[in-house]
Structure 1
Protein backbone atom coordinates (compact mmCIF):
# COMPACT_ATOMS: atom_id res chain seq x y z
CA UNK A 1 0.00 0.00 0.00
CA UNK A 2 1.42 3.43 -0.90
CA UNK A 3 2.53 5.71 1.87
CA UNK A 4 1.60 9.21 0.73
CA UNK A 5 3.77 11.89 2.26
CA UNK A 6 1.86 14.88 3.45
CA UNK A 7 3.23 18.05 4.95
CA UNK A 8 2.86 18.05 8.73
CA UNK A 9 3.16 21.65 9.87
CA UNK A 10 1.47 22.58 13.11
CA UNK A 11 -0.32 25.88 12.72
CA UNK A 12 0.32 25.79 8.98
CA UNK A 13 -1.50 27.43 6.10
CA UNK A 14 -2.57 24.97 3.42
CA UNK A 15 -4.17 25.17 -0.02
CA UNK A 16 -6.33 22.20 -1.05
CA UNK A 17 -8.02 20.99 -4.19
CA UNK A 18 -10.63 18.31 -3.47
CA UNK A 19 -12.44 16.66 -6.37
CA UNK A 20 -15.50 14.51 -6.96
CA UNK A 21 -14.93 11.17 -8.65
CA UNK A 22 -17.27 12.14 -11.49
CA UNK A 23 -15.84 15.29 -13.04
CA UNK A 24 -19.07 15.84 -15.00
CA UNK A 25 -21.14 15.96 -11.81
CA UNK A 26 -22.73 19.09 -10.37
CA UNK A 27 -23.29 17.43 -7.01
CA UNK A 28 -21.40 19.98 -4.91
CA UNK A 29 -23.54 22.92 -6.03
CA UNK A 30 -26.73 20.84 -6.24
CA UNK A 31 -26.12 19.81 -2.62
CA UNK A 32 -24.45 23.04 -1.43
CA UNK A 33 -26.46 23.17 1.80
CA UNK A 34 -25.41 19.60 2.64
CA UNK A 35 -21.78 20.50 1.90
CA UNK A 36 -21.92 23.66 4.03
CA UNK A 37 -23.45 21.74 6.92
CA UNK A 38 -20.79 18.98 6.82
CA UNK A 39 -18.06 21.59 6.50
CA UNK A 40 -19.41 23.49 9.51
CA UNK A 41 -19.62 20.29 11.61
CA UNK A 42 -16.01 19.40 10.77
CA UNK A 43 -14.94 22.94 11.64
CA UNK A 44 -16.72 22.73 15.00
CA UNK A 45 -15.25 19.31 15.84
CA UNK A 46 -11.71 20.09 14.63
CA UNK A 47 -11.35 23.88 14.51
CA UNK A 48 -9.60 25.58 11.60
CA UNK A 49 -9.92 28.92 9.87
CA UNK A 50 -11.08 29.18 6.28
CA UNK A 51 -9.02 31.91 4.64
CA UNK A 52 -10.57 31.54 1.17
CA UNK A 53 -12.85 29.00 -0.50
CA UNK A 54 -14.67 28.37 -3.76
CA UNK A 55 -17.04 25.45 -4.31
CA UNK A 56 -17.59 24.50 -7.93
CA UNK A 57 -19.88 21.78 -9.35
CA UNK A 58 -17.28 18.98 -9.25
CA UNK A 59 -14.43 20.27 -7.06
CA UNK A 60 -13.44 22.88 -4.54
CA UNK A 61 -10.41 24.93 -3.60
CA UNK A 62 -9.73 26.23 -0.13
CA UNK A 63 -6.99 27.71 2.04
CA UNK A 64 -7.05 26.70 5.70
CA UNK A 65 -5.12 27.97 8.69
CA UNK A 66 -4.67 25.29 11.33
CA UNK A 67 -4.32 25.92 15.03
CA UNK A 68 -0.80 26.34 16.42
CA UNK A 69 -0.85 22.91 18.07
CA UNK A 70 -2.44 21.03 15.17
CA UNK A 71 -1.29 19.63 11.82
CA UNK A 72 -4.03 17.04 11.22
CA UNK A 73 -5.90 18.26 8.15
CA UNK A 74 -6.51 14.71 6.84
CA UNK A 75 -9.00 14.04 9.66
CA UNK A 76 -10.87 17.20 8.71
CA UNK A 77 -11.16 16.11 5.09
CA UNK A 78 -12.30 12.67 6.22
CA UNK A 79 -15.05 14.29 8.32
CA UNK A 80 -16.18 16.56 5.47
CA UNK A 81 -16.10 13.91 2.77
CA UNK A 82 -17.76 11.17 4.82
CA UNK A 83 -20.36 13.56 6.23
CA UNK A 84 -21.25 14.79 2.75
CA UNK A 85 -21.41 11.26 1.31
CA UNK A 86 -23.52 9.82 4.13
CA UNK A 87 -27.09 9.52 2.95
CA UNK A 88 -26.28 10.04 -0.73
CA UNK A 89 -26.78 7.29 -3.28
CA UNK A 90 -23.59 5.41 -4.20
CA UNK A 91 -22.05 6.56 -7.46
CA UNK A 92 -20.08 3.35 -8.14
CA UNK A 93 -20.28 -0.19 -6.91
CA UNK A 94 -17.12 -2.25 -6.49
CA UNK A 95 -15.65 -4.59 -3.91
CA UNK A 96 -12.83 -2.15 -3.21
CA UNK A 97 -15.24 0.67 -2.45
CA UNK A 98 -17.54 -1.54 -0.41
CA UNK A 99 -14.66 -2.89 1.66
CA UNK A 100 -13.63 0.66 2.53
CA UNK A 101 -17.25 1.80 3.04
CA UNK A 102 -16.86 4.34 0.23
CA UNK A 103 -19.56 5.41 -2.20
CA UNK A 104 -17.39 6.56 -5.08
CA UNK A 105 -18.48 10.18 -4.67
CA UNK A 106 -15.05 11.68 -3.95
CA UNK A 107 -11.65 11.00 -5.45
CA UNK A 108 -9.71 9.24 -2.71
CA UNK A 109 -6.83 11.67 -2.69
CA UNK A 110 -6.62 15.44 -2.82
CA UNK A 111 -4.01 18.04 -3.63
CA UNK A 112 -2.45 19.91 -0.74
CA UNK A 113 0.17 22.61 -0.76
CA UNK A 114 1.82 24.23 2.25
CA UNK A 115 1.67 28.00 1.79
CA UNK A 116 5.23 29.35 1.91
CA UNK A 117 4.86 33.11 2.26
CA UNK A 118 2.53 36.08 1.74
CA UNK A 119 3.05 36.12 -2.03
CA UNK A 120 2.23 32.40 -2.26
CA UNK A 121 -0.90 32.96 -0.17
CA UNK A 122 -2.05 35.87 -2.34
CA UNK A 123 -1.49 33.85 -5.53
CA UNK A 124 -3.55 30.93 -4.18
CA UNK A 125 -6.37 33.18 -2.99
CA UNK A 126 -6.50 34.81 -6.42
CA UNK A 127 -6.61 31.37 -8.04
CA UNK A 128 -9.44 30.25 -5.76
CA UNK A 129 -11.55 33.31 -6.51
CA UNK A 130 -10.89 33.25 -10.25
CA UNK A 131 -11.62 29.53 -10.67
CA UNK A 132 -15.32 29.82 -11.68
CA UNK A 133 -14.26 32.06 -14.57
CA UNK A 134 -11.44 29.71 -15.53
CA UNK A 135 -13.92 26.85 -15.83
CA UNK A 136 -16.45 28.99 -17.77
CA UNK A 137 -19.16 28.81 -15.11
CA UNK A 138 -19.44 32.62 -15.11
CA UNK A 139 -17.84 35.48 -17.00
CA UNK A 140 -17.22 37.61 -13.89
CA UNK A 141 -15.83 36.46 -10.54
CA UNK A 142 -18.59 38.35 -8.71
CA UNK A 143 -21.27 36.25 -10.42
CA UNK A 144 -20.30 32.95 -8.72
CA UNK A 145 -22.28 32.57 -5.47
CA UNK A 146 -20.24 29.83 -3.75
CA UNK A 147 -17.04 31.75 -3.09
CA UNK A 148 -15.37 33.69 -0.32
CA UNK A 149 -14.79 36.40 -2.94
CA UNK A 150 -17.96 38.11 -1.68
CA UNK A 151 -16.58 38.22 1.88
CA UNK A 152 -13.35 39.75 0.55
CA UNK A 153 -15.38 42.45 -1.25
CA UNK A 154 -17.50 43.16 1.87
CA UNK A 155 -14.34 43.65 3.92
CA UNK A 156 -12.79 45.96 1.32
CA UNK A 157 -9.96 43.56 0.48
CA UNK A 158 -10.99 43.22 -3.19
CA UNK A 159 -12.98 45.40 -5.57
CA UNK A 160 -16.33 44.03 -6.76
CA UNK A 161 -15.02 44.02 -10.34
CA UNK A 162 -11.75 42.24 -9.44
CA UNK A 163 -10.54 39.78 -12.06
CA UNK A 164 -12.54 41.43 -14.81
CA UNK A 165 -9.74 41.48 -17.37
CA UNK A 166 -7.62 38.58 -16.09
CA UNK A 167 -7.42 35.56 -18.38
CA UNK A 168 -5.48 33.17 -16.16
CA UNK A 169 -3.73 32.93 -12.80
CA UNK A 170 -0.23 31.48 -13.21
CA UNK A 171 0.83 28.55 -11.05
CA UNK A 172 0.31 24.87 -10.23
CA UNK A 173 -2.85 24.36 -8.23
CA UNK A 174 -3.62 20.65 -8.36
CA UNK A 175 -6.14 20.47 -11.18
Structure 2
Protein backbone atom coordinates (compact mmCIF):
# COMPACT_ATOMS: atom_id res chain seq x y z
CA UNK A 1 0.00 0.00 0.00
CA UNK A 2 1.29 3.47 -0.92
CA UNK A 3 2.36 5.65 2.02
CA UNK A 4 0.30 8.84 2.20
CA UNK A 5 1.97 12.14 2.92
CA UNK A 6 1.67 13.59 6.41
CA UNK A 7 -0.59 16.54 7.09
CA UNK A 8 1.70 19.49 7.79
CA UNK A 9 1.19 22.41 10.18
CA UNK A 10 -0.26 25.63 8.70
CA UNK A 11 -1.38 23.94 5.48
CA UNK A 12 -4.91 23.60 4.13
CA UNK A 13 -6.36 20.20 3.20
CA UNK A 14 -9.46 18.68 1.73
CA UNK A 15 -10.17 15.66 3.97
CA UNK A 16 -12.72 13.06 2.86
CA UNK A 17 -13.82 9.49 3.38
CA UNK A 18 -16.76 7.29 2.53
CA UNK A 19 -18.52 4.19 3.71
CA UNK A 20 -17.10 0.80 2.85
CA UNK A 21 -18.72 -0.30 -0.42
CA UNK A 22 -20.47 3.11 -0.35
CA UNK A 23 -22.44 1.93 2.69
CA UNK A 24 -24.56 4.42 4.61
CA UNK A 25 -22.59 6.03 7.43
CA UNK A 26 -25.48 7.95 9.00
CA UNK A 27 -28.49 5.72 9.53
CA UNK A 28 -30.53 8.29 11.47
CA UNK A 29 -30.42 12.02 12.19
CA UNK A 30 -28.68 11.68 15.56
CA UNK A 31 -25.71 9.98 13.88
CA UNK A 32 -24.76 13.22 12.11
CA UNK A 33 -24.59 15.14 15.39
CA UNK A 34 -22.69 12.32 17.08
CA UNK A 35 -20.08 12.32 14.28
CA UNK A 36 -19.62 16.09 14.69
CA UNK A 37 -19.24 15.69 18.46
CA UNK A 38 -16.48 13.15 17.87
CA UNK A 39 -14.90 15.48 15.30
CA UNK A 40 -14.91 18.25 17.88
CA UNK A 41 -13.40 15.96 20.51
CA UNK A 42 -10.62 14.46 18.37
CA UNK A 43 -9.79 17.00 15.66
CA UNK A 44 -10.83 20.58 16.39
CA UNK A 45 -8.04 21.30 18.87
CA UNK A 46 -5.52 20.56 16.12
CA UNK A 47 -7.19 21.82 12.93
CA UNK A 48 -9.22 24.88 11.99
CA UNK A 49 -12.36 23.96 10.06
CA UNK A 50 -13.54 26.12 7.17
CA UNK A 51 -16.20 23.93 5.58
CA UNK A 52 -17.72 20.49 5.97
CA UNK A 53 -20.54 18.40 4.62
CA UNK A 54 -21.80 15.09 5.93
CA UNK A 55 -23.68 13.02 3.37
CA UNK A 56 -25.32 9.65 3.96
CA UNK A 57 -22.32 7.69 2.65
CA UNK A 58 -19.39 10.11 2.69
CA UNK A 59 -17.96 13.23 4.34
CA UNK A 60 -15.88 16.23 3.30
CA UNK A 61 -13.91 18.73 5.39
CA UNK A 62 -11.78 21.74 4.50
CA UNK A 63 -9.26 22.26 7.29
CA UNK A 64 -6.04 24.05 8.09
CA UNK A 65 -3.73 22.12 10.39
CA UNK A 66 -2.82 24.40 13.28
CA UNK A 67 0.72 25.61 13.90
CA UNK A 68 3.35 23.54 15.69
CA UNK A 69 2.70 25.21 19.06
CA UNK A 70 -0.91 23.98 19.01
CA UNK A 71 0.34 20.49 18.14
CA UNK A 72 2.75 20.26 21.12
CA UNK A 73 0.77 18.95 24.10
CA UNK A 74 3.33 16.25 24.90
CA UNK A 75 6.46 17.69 26.46
CA UNK A 76 9.26 15.14 26.53
CA UNK A 77 11.67 17.46 28.28
CA UNK A 78 11.94 21.18 28.96
CA UNK A 79 13.31 21.72 25.44
CA UNK A 80 11.56 19.01 23.46
CA UNK A 81 7.91 18.38 22.71
CA UNK A 82 6.22 15.67 20.68
CA UNK A 83 3.80 16.91 18.04
CA UNK A 84 0.29 15.51 17.93
CA UNK A 85 -0.31 13.48 14.78
CA UNK A 86 -3.36 14.93 13.05
CA UNK A 87 -3.55 11.68 11.05
CA UNK A 88 -3.85 9.77 14.33
CA UNK A 89 -6.54 12.17 15.57
CA UNK A 90 -8.56 11.63 12.39
CA UNK A 91 -8.08 7.89 12.88
CA UNK A 92 -9.42 8.18 16.44
CA UNK A 93 -12.47 10.00 15.08
CA UNK A 94 -13.24 7.35 12.47
CA UNK A 95 -12.52 4.44 14.82
CA UNK A 96 -14.70 5.85 17.61
CA UNK A 97 -17.56 6.45 15.19
CA UNK A 98 -17.26 3.01 13.58
CA UNK A 99 -17.18 1.25 16.97
CA UNK A 100 -20.26 3.12 18.09
CA UNK A 101 -22.20 2.40 14.89
CA UNK A 102 -21.16 -1.26 14.94
CA UNK A 103 -22.35 -1.58 18.53
CA UNK A 104 -25.58 0.39 18.08
CA UNK A 105 -26.68 -1.40 14.90
CA UNK A 106 -25.30 -4.83 15.75
CA UNK A 107 -22.94 -4.88 12.79
CA UNK A 108 -19.35 -6.01 12.37
CA UNK A 109 -16.50 -5.12 10.07
CA UNK A 110 -15.20 -1.97 8.48
CA UNK A 111 -17.52 1.00 8.28
CA UNK A 112 -15.17 3.22 6.27
CA UNK A 113 -13.67 2.23 2.93
CA UNK A 114 -10.34 3.89 3.74
CA UNK A 115 -8.96 5.80 6.68
CA UNK A 116 -9.36 9.15 4.92
CA UNK A 117 -8.24 10.83 1.75
CA UNK A 118 -6.45 14.14 1.70
CA UNK A 119 -5.52 16.70 -0.90
CA UNK A 120 -3.46 19.73 -0.09
CA UNK A 121 -5.09 23.01 -1.04
CA UNK A 122 -2.33 24.74 -2.96
CA UNK A 123 -3.99 27.85 -4.41
CA UNK A 124 -6.56 30.50 -3.64
CA UNK A 125 -8.62 29.35 -6.60
CA UNK A 126 -8.69 25.78 -5.26
CA UNK A 127 -9.76 27.04 -1.82
CA UNK A 128 -12.64 28.98 -3.39
CA UNK A 129 -13.78 26.04 -5.53
CA UNK A 130 -13.49 23.65 -2.59
CA UNK A 131 -15.73 25.69 -0.28
CA UNK A 132 -18.40 25.66 -2.99
CA UNK A 133 -17.81 22.00 -3.90
CA UNK A 134 -18.17 20.82 -0.30
CA UNK A 135 -21.40 22.75 0.31
CA UNK A 136 -22.85 21.89 -3.13
CA UNK A 137 -22.18 18.14 -2.72
CA UNK A 138 -25.70 17.07 -1.58
CA UNK A 139 -27.25 18.77 -4.61
CA UNK A 140 -24.58 17.30 -6.91
CA UNK A 141 -25.53 13.81 -5.69
CA UNK A 142 -29.26 14.45 -6.15
CA UNK A 143 -30.11 14.32 -2.45
CA UNK A 144 -31.84 17.72 -2.56
CA UNK A 145 -32.73 20.38 -5.14
CA UNK A 146 -30.93 23.24 -3.38
CA UNK A 147 -27.72 22.70 -1.42
CA UNK A 148 -28.69 25.57 0.90
CA UNK A 149 -31.37 23.37 2.47
CA UNK A 150 -29.01 20.50 3.42
CA UNK A 151 -28.91 20.46 7.24
CA UNK A 152 -25.60 18.62 7.65
CA UNK A 153 -23.09 21.10 6.26
CA UNK A 154 -21.24 24.16 7.48
CA UNK A 155 -23.21 26.40 5.12
CA UNK A 156 -25.83 27.39 7.72
CA UNK A 157 -23.27 27.94 10.48
CA UNK A 158 -21.24 30.11 8.15
CA UNK A 159 -24.21 32.42 7.59
CA UNK A 160 -25.67 32.33 11.10
CA UNK A 161 -25.05 34.73 13.95
CA UNK A 162 -24.80 31.91 16.52
CA UNK A 163 -21.68 30.51 18.11
CA UNK A 164 -19.63 28.22 15.95
CA UNK A 165 -16.24 26.55 16.00
CA UNK A 166 -15.90 27.14 12.25
CA UNK A 167 -13.56 29.75 10.87
CA UNK A 168 -16.68 31.69 9.83
CA UNK A 169 -15.18 35.17 9.68
CA UNK A 170 -12.30 34.02 7.47
CA UNK A 171 -14.67 32.27 5.06
CA UNK A 172 -17.04 35.24 4.89
CA UNK A 173 -14.14 37.65 4.39
CA UNK A 174 -12.76 35.39 1.64
CA UNK A 175 -16.03 35.69 -0.28
CA UNK A 176 -16.49 39.41 0.34
CA UNK A 177 -18.95 39.26 3.25
CA UNK A 178 -22.18 37.56 4.19
CA UNK A 179 -24.19 39.15 1.37
CA UNK A 180 -21.91 37.57 -1.24
CA UNK A 181 -22.14 33.97 -0.02
TM more than 0.5? yes
Report if aligned partners of 2:43, 2:86 keep a CA contact under 8 Å in 1.
Answer: no
Q: What residue ranges of structure 1 are gaps of 5+ in the alignment?
A: 93-102, 163-175
Report if aligned partners of 1:50, 1:63 keep a CA contact under 8 Å in 2.
Answer: yes
Paired residues for 1:22-171 under 5 Å: 22-25=21-24, 27=26, 30=29, 31-43=31-43, 46-69=45-68, 70=71, 72-89=85-102, 91-92=107-108, 103-154=109-160, 157=177
Deviation, structure 1 residue 159: 5.3
The C-alpha deviation readout for 1:42-64, integer Å capped at 9, x for no partner, is 035x4211110000001011111
TM-score by length of 1: 0.74
TM-score by length of 2: 0.71
RMSD: 2.5
C-alpha distance 11-124 of structure 1, shift in aligned 2 (>3 A): same
CA distance in 1, matches of 2:8, 2:63: 12
Q: What residue ranges of structure 2 are gaps of 5+ in the alignment?
A: 72-83, 161-167
Segments of 4+ moved more than 6 angstroms: none
